[in-house]
Amino acid sequence: MFRALPALVLGLLLGCTSTGGAPPTGSPVTASVPASIPAPVANCGEATLTITNGTTQLIGVTLNGDWAGSVEKNSTRTVDPRGIDQLPPLPWVAVVTDAKGAEVGSLLVQAGSNETATVADEGGLVTGAALRPGCTATPDPYAGLPSNACGGFHLKVVNNTSGKVTVVINAGWSTTIDSGGGQVINEMFTQPQPPMLPWYVVIKDATGRPMFEGIAGDSPVDQKVTLTDDGAPSQAPYSLALEGCGPA
């Protein structure tokens, strides 16, 4: 009574194998082609700063006198705009300080570059820079202009406003300039001596409102900032040959 079952099962198996092994009539056979991988897009509007702390104590870092962070002893930290840190806009003046808050050194971080800074127990800051892949160096806007002289970099501030202004450099050093006055800040001879270059400069009015924010000392050309009540501050190269090395 059950002798036909083996033949029936065998026929079903053969039928499944035959149907699954060949494509249906009229269906084209196509080979899979791997999709091309697009080249990575160079994001030249970003930058990173990798800080290596080779000391046995905590070190600090500030960006543009605003953002502050720290690096644990014998460790490395990368400051990246794509991370969770709320960072100021580029470019950055990065100031590195030791465990006591004393400045070890500073560097300029511009868009399109990956910068490194290393602090060792021997002291000092060793820096390095590399362009991000696909990015090109920014042309030097001061090419062909005379280089610093008479004590290094100078920043001249002319206050043509109706009130006092305060010049703050790297969030720590400051000086006040009366209405109608001016001052030349020199990296080597001004007392008290300003921080190491480069400088992140903020000029505030008598109420503490920022009137000017910018970076100075990142080029071999002295700079002059003029403030007025009527319009935006102006910044231009400062000629020691024409105006001399005096205080104003």
- Which residues make Cβ contacts (< 8 Å) with residue 217, sequence separation at least 6? 153, 155, 187, 197, 198, 199
| Residue 85: per-residue pLDDT | 81
CA distance 7 to 195: 96
Decide: 192 and 207 in contact? Cβ < 8 Å.
no
Residue 35 lies in a domain: no
Q: CATH code at 182?
A: 2.60.40
Same domain, 162 and 125: no
Q: Which residue has the tokens 């399109």?
A: 112
Quote the domain boundaries for residue 53: 48-131
Q: What is the pLDDT of residues 35-73, one digit of tens each?
A: 555 545 568 999 999 999 999 999 999 999 999 999 999
Backbone angles phi, psi at 101, to 5 degrees: 90, 0
Instruction: Let me know whether 164 and 103 are in one domain.
Output: no
Q: What is the pLDDT of residue 2?
A: 39
- The string of pLDDT tens digits covering residues 96-148 is 999 999 999 999 999 999 999 999 988 789 999 999 999 988 777 667 666 66
| The domain boundary residue, chosen from 99, 131, 163 | 131
Q: Is the domain of 71 the same as that of 103?
A: yes
What is the rounded CA–CA span in Å between residue 239 and residue 146?
Answer: 8
Does 34 map to a domain?
Answer: no
Burial of 107 (0-12, 13-18, 19+ CB in 10 A): buried
Residues 180 and 122 in one domain: no
Which backbone phi and psi does 59 adopt, to 5 degrees?
-120, 160
Both 165 and 234 in one domain: the answer is yes
Q: Name the residue among 156, 144, 211, 143 with its Cα closest to residue 182.
A: 156
Total domains present in the chain? 2
Residue 165 covered by a domain = yes
